[in-house]
A = this chain, B = another copy of it.
Amino acid sequence: MRIAVIASIAHRVPPRGYGPWEQVAATLTEGLVARGHEVTLFATADSLTTARLHATAAAGYEEDPSRDAKVDEALHLASVFERADRFDVISNQFDFLPLAFSRLVATPVVTTVHGFSSEKILPVYRAYDDVTHYVSISDASRHPDLTYAATIHHGIDPGTISLGGGDGGHLLFLGRIHPDKGTALAVEVARRAGRPLVIAGVIHDRDYFRSSVEPHLDGEHVTYVGPVGPAERDHLLGGAVAMLHLIDFEEPFGLSVAESMMAGTPVVAHPRGSMPELVRPGVNGFLVDDVDQAVAAVEQAALLDRARCRADAVDRFSHDRMVEAYEALFERVVGSADAGPGRAR
């Protein structure tokens, strides 16, 4: 198939540090190329890919403060849809804005709903429910107002994450520093479990970081290492006894959770959002309701079979499985589009 992948242009593809949407776009693109498809990745000019790269923005607008996000997005999306007739299918890994263009072209658009940044964006998704083919990234993230063509969990290339021994002895918080992600709760659980905590990720809520995280940083029991790239990420994940994911929101997927499992590191999580779909208690982690349970679960997690944890993650969250699922969906969508003027779901 001739496939266009629309990536976010907040960051480069693949991202240097934070950027789960860009990471998924990269993994999908490379997987589709490996399967012999003719793929064009629409992303920033500094992106790295084996697909054909089409770029209108030199760099990500989050990485270059001189850029104007609205201008970059307009030129980015126009460049995709003005070339729509060159593709059999368009994979929208962006956000809601491509939907506004989707009725103007004949090429079917498959939109991966990475998350609803706010209830306010729902009207756009509702307005294109009969046009685009929505993919949910977990069953838990499905919105009752929308029709979905498939749920496809994010996938990770197992070659990029090695099985670790947990021999760093630390607990790990990996993600945005934000109340939603439970950074402060992780500090409390680590203290009570008597384990050092390493915190890695971008600071999304500076006030929260200052008031609830920074005061605990002592370089020994609690350390903050900032955002991390792939190599340090692999090292931190593999050395961790467990990852703490005590979220306070309905997380649509949680890429770092699947990454942790792939490193053999069990995840102790609140049962919110997609966590009950990702965490298999006693295999790759535990679901806990409060701090007491979390502290107990950390010690249980240390006893789990890390190789089995990884094997389960490779089985359920490998890039192959994700790419196959998208490929099957694209074939179904293209077949329906070819069958006639009506758009089948």
Q: In this complex, what residue of B is CB-closest to A119?
A: B68
| Residues of chain B within 8 A of A99, CB atoms compared | 74, 78
| Residues of chain B within 8 A of A101, CB atoms compared | 78, 100-101, 104
Complex formed: what's the CA distance from A101 to B100 in Å?
A: 9
Chain A residues bordering chain B, tally (CB within 8 A): 25
CB-based contact A123/B78 at 8 Å: no
What is the minimal beta-carbon distance from A62 to any residue of chain B, in angstroms?
Answer: 15
CB-based contact B123/A96 at 8 Å: no
Mask: chain A, 79-107; 1 = CB below 8 Å from B; 0 = not: 00110000000000000110111011100
CB-based contact B74/A97 at 8 Å: yes
Within 8 A of B (CB), among A117-132: 118, 120-121, 123-124, 127
Q: In this complex, what residue of B is CB-closest to A74?
A: B100
Q: In this complex, what residue of B is CB-closest to A77?
A: B100
Copies of this chain in the oligomer: 2
CB-based contact B75/A100 at 8 Å: yes
Complex formed: what's the CA distance from A104 to B100 in Å?
A: 12
Is A339's beta carbon under 8 Å from chain B? no
| Residues of chain B within 8 A of A81, CB atoms compared | 104
Is A231's beta carbon under 8 Å from chain B? no
Within 8 A of B (CB), among A265-319: none
CB-based contact A103/B82 at 8 Å: yes
Complex formed: what's the CA distance from A81 to B102 in Å?
A: 11
CB-based contact B82/A70 at 8 Å: no
| Residues of chain B within 8 A of A77, CB atoms compared | 100
**Which of B103, B104, B124 makes the CB contact (< 8 A) with A74?**
B124
Complex formed: what's the CA distance from A78 to B104 in Å?
A: 9
Complex formed: what's the CA distance from A99 to B78 in Å?
A: 9
Within 8 A of B (CB), among A146-194: none
| Residues of chain B within 8 A of A124, CB atoms compared | 71, 74-75
What is the minimal beta-carbon distance from A330 to any residue of chain B, in angstroms?
Answer: 22
| Residues of chain B within 8 A of A75, CB atoms compared | 100, 123-124, 127
What are 21 A-to-B residue pairs whose CB atoms are below 8 Å? A67-B120, A68-B118, A68-B120, A71-B123, A74-B96, A74-B97, A74-B99, A74-B100, A74-B124, A75-B100, A75-B123, A77-B100, A78-B99, A78-B100, A78-B103, A81-B104, A82-B104, A100-B101, A101-B101, A101-B104, A104-B105
Additional A-B contact list (5), CB under 8 Å, known A68-B118, A75-B123, A104-B105: A68-B121, A75-B124, A78-B101, A78-B127, A101-B101
